[in-house]
Amino acid sequence: MGRPRRGPGLRGMATVHPFESARHKYLRAYEHLQSLKGILTRVGARGGWAASCEVSFDAESTEAVVRIASLPTVPSDLPPTVGDVLGNLRQSLDHLAWACVALGATPVLTRPQAVYFPIVDDVATWETKAKKALPGVGDPHLAAIRDVQPFSGSRPGDALARLRDQSNPDKHRVSVSVSHQALDAHATLRTNWEVSHPSEVVGAGSTISVGDEILRLPLRPFVGQPLRLHVVGEVQCVPVLEGGSGPLLEDLWEMYLATQGILSDCEAVT
């Protein structure tokens, strides 16, 4: 019988700098961010980030109700570009984990496919997954990775949790879903009845969908005059990731900075 097969030796696979591959990945994510910025600028220049409005009459409350009639069309190249950003950032973290293992006490692995950058929400899960995903990683690198976990309560940790939650479905199942967040509503109601002050307005920062109410205006009828209603206006909005924390570009930029930060932290203790 021959000698037992061993897993690949990580040190023999090292590049000029142990974190060079991770750097390449997050720099590639930056290039995709610039492409995404170009897409958003292109659509915005055409007035594309505005939702249209429609008005109806609520006879029970005697109010004019203004709702979202249609949302901006999401360009076909936007979700794949967002997916490229997410994918490269997630890959950068996994390459970082591989490099940290290569620098640690277990340079030969029996299960190299188990190495990855864990992103977990509680300490107990961290203790379990870190042993499997980061075998032999030295204490300085392990501490740096632990400090940016979501359970740390840090801003980078929050960004990495969103990266995990957005990148996993995009990688395995379907492209990311892009929603719309209201910035400002401008609606002018034209009617032959008397209008009181609005009783409800959509708030800035709210995620909007077709049919959502943005404004209610109490009306006082004039006897003998059938109601005439017309609305002119729109809701300025920005694209957001479904379940994201804010405007799309800002959300992705925070994920990019969190990835850049943990890479710098690991480099500093190498």
Instruction: Please indicate whether residue 259 or residue 15 has the higher confidence score (pLDDT).
Output: 259
Q: What is the mean pLDDT of residues 43-55?
A: 83
Q: Looking at the domain assignment, is residue 174 inside a domain?
A: yes
| Domain range enclosing 162 | 11-268
Q: Looking at the domain assignment, is residue 139 inside a domain?
A: yes
Q: What is the mean pLDDT of the chain?
A: 87
Q: Looking at the domain assignment, is residue 6 inside a domain?
A: no
Q: Looking at the domain assignment, is residue 175 inside a domain?
A: yes
Is pLDDT of 1 > 60?
Answer: no
Q: What is the mean pLDDT of residues 73-93?
A: 95
How does 109-142 read in b/e, with b if 16+ C-beta sit within 10 Å? beeeeebbbbbbeeeeebeeebeebbbbbbeebb
pLDDT in tens, 206-255: 888 999 988 888 898 888 889 998 888 888 888 999 877 789 999 999 99
Cβ-Cβ contacts under 8 Å for 44 (sequence gap 6 or more): none
Q: Looking at the domain assignment, is residue 5 inside a domain?
A: no
What pTM, to 2 d.p., does this model score? Answer: 0.84
pLDDT in tens, 107-149: 667 788 899 999 999 999 999 999 999 999 999 999 999 999 9
For a pLDDT cut of 90, what percent of the chain falls above it? Answer: 56
Q: Looking at the domain assignment, is residue 162 inside a domain?
A: yes
Ranking 22-26, 27-31, 106-110, 120-124 by mean pLDDT, the lowest is 106-110
Is pLDDT of 11 > 60?
Answer: no
CA distance 210 to 217: 19
pLDDT value at position 6?
Answer: 41
pLDDT value at position 12?
Answer: 46
Q: Which of 180, 194, 198, 162 is nearest to 85 (CA)?
A: 162
Tokens of 231: 């609305």
pLDDT value at position 71?
Answer: 92
Q: Looking at the domain assignment, is residue 126 inside a domain?
A: yes
Instruction: Please indicate whether residue 264 or residue 110 has the higher confidence score (pLDDT).
Output: 264
CA distance 104 to 239: 42
How sure is the predictor about 183, in pLDDT bands with cuts at 50, 70 and 90? confident
Report which DSSP code applies to 198. Answer: -
Ranking 52-61, 111-120, 164-173 by mean pLDDT, the lowest is 164-173
Is pLDDT of 37 > 60?
Answer: yes
Split into its structural domains, the chain has a count of 1
Is pLDDT of 4 > 50?
Answer: no
Is pLDDT of 198 > 50?
Answer: yes
Instruction: Tell me the backbone φ, ψ of residue 242, rounded to 5 degrees.
Output: -60, 120
CA distance 150 to 203: 29
Instruction: Please indicate whether residue 269 or residue 202 has the higher confidence score (pLDDT).
Output: 269
Ranking 31-40, 99-108, 150-159 by mean pLDDT, the lowest is 99-108
